[in-house]
Amino acid sequence: MGIVSPGFRGRPRSSRPELPPGQYLTEDFPVLSAGPTPRVPMDRWEFVITTETSREHRWTWADLTALPSDTPTVDLHCVTKWSKLGTTWRGVSLDTLMSDVDSAADYAFVHSYGGYTTNLPLADLLDGQAWVAYEYDGEDLAPEHGGPARLLVPHLYLWKSAKWVRGIQLRFDDEPGFWETAGYHDYGDPWREQRYQGD
């Protein structure tokens, strides 16, 4: 007698073409954080891009929200296997923020209030692929979802979209961030199921 009952096929993978392999659809917006939620007063909030030559480009909250904004509608895919489709945000594209930044760097090391970090190739932040987002679904971004502002890089797993973002350091070398040093994949493409190192 076989160890698997006839007709058993295991947990079905999603047949929805818009879901990466191994993901399931949720209507909720789960809250997952590695530590306490930072609370940053708007008058002390700033975002800083630091080039590989240590030149700093700074924006206050008023500076950021005065810049031209986009309202992307994107799908989110978490490494814990949930996906939420058709989410709508408002924020400033990294193309806008990088427009006056002179850099030859290949990588971005992202810093958040609260100490969280993550790494990405700089190319993945440009060409309309990433934003510093400060509204979700027409409302100010709630602190539990990364407010007042978070990085939004929807084509990668959601841990790359750093909550409570405060700056990006441009680098020639790729330095792993918080989850990457704990064994998560350096890149994190959900369509290739790059969850952990070696995937």
- Which pLDDT does position 18 carry in this prediction? 79
pTM of the predicted structure, to 2 decimals: 0.88
**Structural domains in the chain, sorted by start:** 42-192 (3.90.420.10)
Average pLDDT over residues 31-56: 89
- Which pLDDT does position 89 carry in this prediction? 98
Residue of higher predicted confidence among 33 and 118: 118
- What CA–CA distance (Å, rounded) separates 25 from 45? 34
Cis upstream peptide for 154 (omega within 30°)? no
Average pLDDT over residues 16-28: 87
Supply 122's token pair.
């700089």
Reported confidence tier of residue 98, pLDDT bands at 50, 70, 90: very high
Which amino acid type is present at position 166?
R
Supply 68's token pair.
């031209």
Average pLDDT over residues 42-47: 94
Supply 163's token pair.
């909550």
